[in-house]
Each structure stands twice: as C-alpha cells, then as structure tokens.
Amino acid sequence: MVRHGAPKLALFLATFLYFTSPSLSEDTKPPLAMPDDASAVVYDGESGLLTFSSGKPVKELAAFYRDLAKKHAWQEQPSVINKDKMVVLTFMVSGDDVANITVMKMGEQSEVTAEGTALEAKGGLVADAGKAPAADASTAPPLVAMEKDGLPMPDGLGNMGSTSTLYSHGVNFSAPNSVADIVAFYRAELPKKGWKEDSAKISDSEAELAFTSPEGPATLTVKRNGDMSDAELTVNNKAAAAKSPLAPKPGMVKLVFGNMTDKPAEVTIAGKHVKLAAGEGSKGPDGPTLDVKPGALTATIKGAKENFTAGPDEIWMVGVGPGGLITMKQ
C-alpha cells in the first residue's frame, strides 16, 4: 500500500516493483471491472493480483476507477502520486479489505496493476465494467471551498488527493466543472490567504497560473480531460529547499539522479550525459546531481524518454527503473 507522506524515492521504487512481478496464471473472471479495451489480462485469485494493458490515457483510467468507487461507496485514501503519466489509487472496499491500483504510461499503452485483499478470489469487488455517465461542465454544481493541508480546494468531491515531498506540498482533484470555473474559484480563495498572482496562461482546455504565497512560489495547473477537469495546486517551501545540500543554484533547476535497476545506465539531459552505476542513488537522494536551466526538459536513456517542465529553484528526481524513466518534483 502506498502511504500518504512517504518519501518520493521510496514510492518511486515501490511503483516499479509492481511491474517486475512474476508471471501469474490466468483466471476466468477477475473481480475488478476493467475498461472495454483491456488486453493481456492476467489474474491470480489466490494472491489477489490483476494486471492488464489499455490504450486509454492514465487519467481516464483513474477516473474510471474513481467512478466505480463512488458507485459502490468505496473509501478512497490519499495518494501522493496523481500525474498525467502515473496514478496510484488506494480504496478501502469493506471492513479491512483494500484495493491498490497503479496506472502507468508505458509507451503507447497504459499498464494497470491492481492488488490487495479485495481482489482475492473470495469476491470482494463488483466486476461490472462500463463508464459512468458523462459529466457536463455547464451543469456542474458550484465549487464550495474547504481546506486540506492548509490549502483551499473544492468540497464534496470523491477524487481528492494531496502531495507532500521534501520541499513542497499540494492538493489535487478532478471535478466536472470547467477550467474557467476552477481558475475563478482559486482567484477568489487564494488572495484571502495572502497569495499574489504573478502570471497566468488560460484557455478553454487548460490553465497554468503562478503565485507567490507566504511560504514560497506556487503553481496551479488545470487541464480538461474528457468530461472532467484535473487540477493541482503546489506550493514550494523555498526556505527549506534553500537550506538543503540539494539546493539548486539561484534561478536554476537541480536534478538528482537514481538507478533502480541492477545494470549501469546513462541518462542524457540538457546536453549532458550522466552515468549511473547499478543501484546508484536508489537508497536515498545521494546519486549524481546536475544544475540546469529551467524550462522544457527531455531525459533519455536507450529506448525511452521522459518530457517534463521544471521551474527555477526547483529540485527534480530523475530515475531509471525496469519500466524506463520517471521524473518527480521534490
């Protein structure tokens, strides 16, 4: 189970372990609903482990399972990973039964791994596949403010989460409301906490706003994804980051590298080649580091690449795992 507030490097390693599990014998009917394009389905009822592939985006699959959870009144637990290319979901199904679902983008496919006592052959889940009815942003209910981890976010949503890293914290959620509605919500709420808006790029489909908060720089991103809008508000603790030995040079981005595999690797990024021994940097943020200019970055290894955008004074983990590359803001 992924635990709220766990160090990102530990989550990083644990997630890759999902995708190196031994092959399992198939069962006829897994107890967990799957999307209509699920392929390469492998289910072991004795251990409660299900894996499959899908051509659908990560966030669409996450919404599929959150809709299913809402329908059956499963309790979603907080998760620190809710990204476009990777989502980790944990649901309390009934009593002590739990279902952990990890969705990761791997090439053209999304790979799904579900495990937990609720997936064991005793039949703890309902296997009725199918999408929830489409949401309409024009008829979505108004957003009412609540507070989570000191940050405002809309109340009454079943798919809310929070993040906590060494030098930042944030909240994230999906809502049927439009991008404009969510931007307006935060423009009304954040000034009440002494935040100042510095810049904004807004369209009907996405938005990115930069703020200065009493704690440090902050970013709000909103992206329309099918029938829902995915939003994330992140605050950087500038003072804590500045005291860290990993602190970037002023105005630069600090990259910290780790290799979760048992083979040497070489990562190319920003015109630099970073060589990693097997397992180097996998036990903590003690691998090689690199200061680069902020902006759009591409990390590559043989056969894989990862694109991400890093801002000034940020710290990012760049890791090599059995499934390829993954990047995480610290």
**Tell me: the pLDDT tens digits for 175-195?**
889 999 999 999 999 999 999
pTM above 0.75, yes or no: no
Q: Could you read off the pLDDT of 209-242 as tens digits, one per residue?
A: 999 998 888 899 999 887 888 898 988 776 666 6
Decide: helix, strand or coil at residue 19: coil
Is residue 25 over pLDDT 60? no
Whose tokens are 């906490």? That residue is 193
Question: Is 101:35 a contact under the CB 8 Å cutoff?
Answer: no
Question: Is 104:12 a contact under the CB 8 Å cutoff?
Answer: no
pLDDT at 184: 94
Which tokens belong to 242?
Answer: 């500045």
Question: Is 102:17 a contact under the CB 8 Å cutoff?
Answer: no
Length of the chain: 330
Q: How would you label 185-196 residue by residue, b for 16+ Cβ within 10 Å and e otherwise?
A: bbeebbeeeebe
Check residues 137 and 28 and name the one with the higher pLDDT. Answer: 137
Q: How many helices (H) does the chain have, and how many strands (E)?
A: 4, 22
Q: What are the structural domains, with CATH classification, of the chain?
A: 8-119 (3.30.310), 137-239 (3.30.310), 246-329 (2.60.40)
Q: Could you read off the pLDDT of 67-110 as tens digits, one per residue?
A: 888 888 888 887 767 788 888 898 888 767 888 899 988 777 88
Check residues 39 and 57 and name the one with the higher pLDDT. Answer: 57
pLDDT at 5: 36
pLDDT at 196: 95
Is residue 301 over pLDDT 80? yes
- CA 219 to chain centroid, in Å, comes to 16
Q: HEC string of 85-96?
A: CEEEEEEEEECC
**122 phi/psi in degrees, rounded to 5:** -65, -15
> What is the rounded average pLDDT of the residues 111-120?
86
pLDDT at 244: 67
> What is the rounded average pLDDT of the residues 298-307?
82
